[in-house]
Structure 1
Amino acid sequence: MRAVMLNGSGRYADAWHRYSETTAALAELVAEAGFTVEVADDVDGALASLTDDVALIVVNAGDPHASTPEGETAAVAEASVLEAANAALEWAIDRGIGLLAVHTAAASLHDYPAYERALGARWVRDSSWHPPIGEAAVHIVGNHAIADGLEDFTVFDERYTDFRLDDVIEPIAEHEHEGIRHPLVWAREFGHSRLVYDALGHDVRSYESAGHRALLAASLAWLARVPAPTANAR
């Protein structure tokens, strides 16, 4: 099984995340799940060149539309590349593929309508937020296959809060802030494809948590089973 990891570089980089480090940590887990991993620094180019033997796309990339601390915005991808990339991604989702989106991926790939539809919820600038990074309790919830056998765990990480909900999501894990539960990890099926979004993963300390690693292993096992046998039509 081939996995393409979209690493936050170029217009998908930012000043707050060391994507090369978290991508390397995440790549080890993806390889342990049985995938052959290819890390792509050219996000748009990698999507444009997707082939039918790619079974998993991992998105560990930032917001290409966000301004830098200096107020500059990243360069825009060439229209021809975006057109080809959108067509390739839509075809991959139509035939059946696994998508693992982590942390800032909730604010990434804004130029891809198929990704927008797949994600189910979005980080929205000036509306979504997170408490200060630190030791956090993660609560496993629901009866999804991914949650089977998992237990609550702690992790040193950011806890993304107040996503914009765009469609139905099936929560796998939540965090609690001021007495209110917020989704951290969710799963979705659409057409023949599957997606897991994991809001954790700010830095490599997140992947040192045994509980987080177990959750990702279960997520990757579920994502590997595509085309989805009982997917919901959209």
Structure 2
Amino acid sequence: MSRIVILSGVTEVDDPWHDFTATSQAIADCLEDAGWTCTVESTGRCDRAGLTDADLLIVNSGLASPPGPGTEPSAALLDHLASDRPVLGVHAAANTFGAVPAWARRLGVRWAEGVSMHPPIGRQRLTPAAGTVLAGLDEVTVHDELYSHLELLRPADVLLAHPLDGRDHPLVLARSEGRQRTVYDALGHGVESYASATRRELLRREVRWLLDEG
């Protein structure tokens, strides 16, 4: 079974809005229940996370996430981002690794300060796009934030969106370029998100697609 590395957040001082320790563990629990092996490591220690042997990198991190132990991002992180191995960015990952341009290029989406926002957190009912890897998942019901007005840097397939201000705002984006697969999933603000069975199924379907496991 594939090995997944989850890079997990920063301290409460750096990002007081997210409990990355709890949500990263919720991600790991969800995926390990489906049979995958997960390793959770601090984002600031990504050089020690075993990325060279990772089949999938998940980043569940936030605003002030350091790229590595020094001022430069770790070689292992840059190697993974440049490789064909898949990447999944969750929620605040659109606002992390500001000092690592390769991260924004790979994820393909970015939180734009002063532009991006979200309505008040609450219970959401979302309909996945038809004819995608989410076919058969009729609805995602979840207590979460809905990120809006994100900056889209690269074309991608919109798997899940929500309406606001007269247009649809992507929440889950999937991109395949050659053998390289990338997903950004804007859900996952708190552990209550992962209490939803349909949200957990959404995450597992994303991972199955990323790992090309059908």
Query: TM-score, normalising length from structure 2?
Result: 0.88
- Aligned equivalents of 1:96 and 1:7: distance in 2? 22
Query: Could you tell me how far 1:8 is from its partner in structure 2?
Result: 0.7
| Identical residues among aligned pairs (%) | 35
Question: What is the SS of the residue equivalent to 2:198?
Answer: helix
Of the structure 1 ranges 120-129 and 93-102, higher mean CA displacement relative to structure 2 is found in 93-102
Q: 2:202 aligns to what?
A: 215
Equivalent residue runs for 1:1-234 within 5 Å: 1-10=2-11, 13-41=14-42, 43-47=43-47, 50-64=50-64, 78-79=70-71, 82-83=72-73, 85=74, 87-144=75-132, 146-225=133-212
8 Å CA contact retained: 2:51, 2:77: no
Equivalent position amino acid for 2:19 in 1 = R
8 Å CA contact retained: 2:158, 2:174: yes
8 Å CA contact retained: 1:95, 1:192: no
Equivalent position amino acid for 1:129 in 2 = M
Query: Could you tell me how far 1:2 is from its partner in structure 2?
Result: 1.6
Query: Could you tell me how far 1:100 is from its partner in structure 2?
Result: 1.3
Question: What is the SS of the residue equivalent to 2:171?
Answer: strand
- Aligned equivalents of 1:4 and 1:131: distance in 2? 31
In structure 2, do the counterparts of structure 1 residues 51 and 128 end up closer, same or farther at CA, with 3 Å as the change threshold? closer
- Aligned equivalents of 1:160 and 1:32: distance in 2? 28
Equivalent position amino acid for 1:30 in 2 = L
- Aligned equivalents of 1:10 and 1:176: distance in 2? 33
Question: What is the SS of the residue equivalent to 2:18?
Answer: coil
Question: What is the SS of the residue equivalent to 1:124?
Answer: coil
Question: What is the SS of the residue equivalent to 1:140?
Answer: coil
Larger radius of gyration: 1
Equivalent position amino acid for 1:92 in 2 = H
Query: Could you tell me how far 1:50 is from its partner in structure 2?
Result: 4.2
In structure 2, do the counterparts of structure 1 residues 47 and 193 end up closer, same or farther at CA, with 3 Å as the change threshold? farther
- Aligned equivalents of 1:52 and 1:77: distance in 2? 17
Q: 1:232 aligns to what?
A: none
Query: Could you tell me how far 1:36 is from its partner in structure 2?
Result: 1.5
In structure 2, do the counterparts of structure 1 residues 12 and 187 end up closer, same or farther at CA, with 3 Å as the change threshold? farther
8 Å CA contact retained: 2:41, 2:49: no
In structure 2, do the counterparts of structure 1 residues 57 and 51 end up closer, same or farther at CA, with 3 Å as the change threshold? closer
Cα deviations by residue, 1:101-157 (Å, 9 ceiling, x for unpaired) = 11100101122222211111111111100000111121211422x212111222111
Of the structure 1 ranges 126-135 and 10-19, higher mean CA displacement relative to structure 2 is found in 10-19
8 Å CA contact retained: 2:5, 2:49: no
Query: Could you tell me how far 1:37 is from its partner in structure 2?
Result: 1.1
Question: What is the SS of the residue equivalent to 1:196?
Answer: strand
Matched residue count = 212
Equivalent position amino acid for 1:123 in 2 = W
Q: 1:69 aligns to what?
A: none
Structure 1 alignment gaps of length 5 or more = 66-73, 227-234
